[in-house]
Amino acid sequence: MFGLVPASIAATGSPSAVAALLALSAPSLAHLSPLDIAVIAIYFVMVIWIGFYLKSRANTSEEFFMAGREMTAWIAGLSFVSANLGSLELMGWAGSAYQYGILAAHWYWVGAIPAMLFLGMVMMPFYYVCKTHSVPGYLKLRFGQGTSIVAAFSFAFMTVLMSGVNMFAMAEVMKVVLGWDLNFSIIVSSLAVAAYVALGGLRSAIFNEVLQFVLIWGGALLVPILGLIETGGWNGLKAKIAHNIATGVTAPGDYTHMWRSMGHFADNPMGIHWTGIVFGLGFAISFGYWTTDFLVVQRVLAANSLRSARMAPVIGSFFKMAVPFIVILPGLLGLVVLQNSDGSLMHLVGENVVAANPGAGLHSYNEVLPLMLVRYCSPGLLGLGITALIAGFMSGMAGNVSAFSAVWTYDIYQPLINKKAKDEHYVAVGRWATILGVVISIGAAYLVMNAKGIMDYVQALFSFFISPLLGAVLMGMFWKRATKAGGFWGLLIGTLTSIALWAWVKIDPTALRYVAISPDAKDMAENMYRALWSVSVCVIVIFVVSLFGKARPIAELNGLVYGATKLPVEEPVPFYKNEYFWLVIAIICFLALNIYFW
């Protein structure tokens, strides 16, 4: 619709030009004031400025891809969480909370915290000591080139698709909230991300992620605060939900407890059993994502010491535990406070229902967060809230393209195309790979427009690639006997198993009773059990194949495998700076949250 015009607007950050475009746009939920537009424009100017400022500090490959390994624990930890705070976090899970209740918080607590703490305390020493540049790089050191190539290609594929999902989701929000054209939003955001990551590399991505993290909280925290004031606090919210269910206004279900309805697939709206949550989400998907997805691991690898690298995920875990207050809580509040113009309770519906009833004035689950912003935020604050959404989308996208750039350069281009180039050459390849990643992501964004649902799509991708990778990394890191052939075949067959199981259910839906153990299982449950199957197959194949092969000498495994690595001794520090102290505090908080919302 707007062609290339928005690109110049992104570069100049001109509020008047943006306002002129808004005047041309479609009807929307909100109308931005000049103050809101100024807030958004200042954000874009700031992120581009940071990219230009840091360009001079991204001259070597170590600086461009690893941020010089100079990040403190706090910076690495905030960036670690922020890179994950993409569009799906902010918008999709708020919608899931509206639809499924507080069950959605499982993805933040049992589906994240144990894995983050395990990464920091158990796995990080091996990643850090072996000085790898990437997770496929670790697999190359442990299992050889073949396994690394499989992991690198699957990661690169998944990463640009994820980036496309982020872009599409952001464009959808901008369309719904502001009436912006999809193409306009996709091009503006992708140009901004391409500019600051290509200029400043990982350091620029990390700087911006920390900035975006602060903005996300500054812009989104006001919604649950005002929402709780309106409903009379948590107890008032629970009472209102119970009243709405009793009067038939809201669909029956337990919206405010996390574990009570997990006894059977049919007892909860997600159609999942507690074993799926604990073993599928809490282990196969969560550990796969948080411990082997290079998008997040890359941030921790940039830490300035082993202690910082271990502390970063622990620090990140506290913020991750808090994210439901700005994502899940607004979704729950939406259940009782959102109203139609006639004063009746608003009912959000699925994307397919909205699409089937054009002109009916319906809103989808994914729109709950923008609707809540519009409800409470006056000029300036609305701009801040919109900026928080944009910041979330851009941090997720920047995380994907910076990780793609590193994996493309180190794990695909260097071993397969140009093995012995100068360091400057690889930096140049990294910059171009960033731009290439953005271009492919844009293509993926348009592909995603035809997908059934954003969350289903992403969960399916996770189980395809991330879970078998977890099996390979865990076996490589904790079993000295694992061989090169075992790693390669385990990863390949585990990945193919996941894809085959997905295709089986697509072709024959009755296969769900085998893949997800119950015919009552729903999409999310299927994803979790498929992840569990694929990681299991990967581990079994590695085990069996390795038994028939010859293990590497112990001396070659130093820095790579538990029991064969002598870790550096860290200097003693006061208890409040010790990672084990904060580990215990994090575990206590995690248990307390689950018990309180049991």
Partner 1 sequence: MHNSGISIWFFIGVLLTIYGAMIFGYGLFELATGHTANVILANLHAPVWWGGLMLALGLFYGLRFRPGRDG
Return residues touching partner 1 (CB under 8 A): 35, 38-39, 42-43, 46, 50, 53, 57, 68, 70-72, 75, 207, 210-211, 214-215, 218, 222, 226, 229-230, 337, 374-381, 384
Cα 52–chain centre separation: 26
Contacts of 344 by beta carbon, 8 Å cutoff, 6+ apart: none
For partner 1, the closer of residues 57 and 481 by Cβ is: 57
Q: Which residues pair with 364 in a beta bridge?
A: 349
Quote the least distance from Cβ 369 to partner 1, whole Å.
15
Quote the least distance from Cβ 325 to partner 1, whole Å.
16
Q: Which residues pair with 349 in a beta bridge?
A: 364
C-alpha distances in angstroms, 535 versus 280, 494, 551? 10, 6, 22
Quote the least distance from Cβ 168 to partner 1, whole Å.
27
If we measure between CA atoms, which residue out of 359, 358, 360, 356 comes closest to residue 347?
Answer: 360
Given a contact cutoff of 8 angstroms between Cβ atoms, the answer to whether 294 and 136 are in contact is yes
Helix, strand or coil for residue 345?
A: strand
For partner 1, the closer of residues 212 and 286 by Cβ is: 212
Contacts of 106 by beta carbon, 8 Å cutoff, 6+ apart: 258, 277, 281
Cα 151–chain centre separation: 19
For partner 1, the closer of residues 43 and 118 by Cβ is: 43
Q: How far apart are CA 483 and CA 159, in angstroms?
A: 28
If we measure between CA atoms, which residue out of 216, 212, 184, 221 comes closest to residue 395?
Answer: 212
Quote the least distance from Cβ 338 to partner 1, whole Å.
10
Quote the least distance from Cβ 210 to partner 1, whole Å.
5
For partner 1, the closer of residues 37 and 135 by Cβ is: 37
Place of tokens 């959000």: 348
Q: How far apart are CA 418 and CA 413, in angstroms?
A: 6
Cα atoms in the 13 Å half-sphere on the side-chain side of 329: 22
Quote the least distance from Cβ 387 to partner 1, whole Å.
8
For partner 1, the closer of residues 50 and 524 by Cβ is: 50
Burial 94-111 (b: 16+ CB within 10 A, else e): bbbbbbbbbbbbbbbbbb
Quote the least distance from Cβ 139 to partner 1, whole Å.
30
For partner 1, the closer of residues 206 and 429 by Cβ is: 206
Quote the least distance from Cβ 41 to partner 1, whole Å.
11
If we measure between CA atoms, which residue out of 385, 7, 33 comes closest to residue 174?
Answer: 385
Return the structure tokens found at 476: 């490589």
DSSP class of residue 101 equals G
Return the structure tokens found at 168: 């599409």
For partner 1, the closer of residues 342 and 359 by Cβ is: 342
For partner 1, the closer of residues 322 and 540 by Cβ is: 322
For partner 1, the closer of residues 45 and 587 by Cβ is: 45
Helix, strand or coil for residue 339?
A: strand
For partner 1, the closer of residues 374 and 525 by Cβ is: 374
Quote the least distance from Cβ 202 to partner 1, whole Å.
13
Return the structure tokens found at 44: 């874009």
Quote the least distance from Cβ 225 to partner 1, whole Å.
8
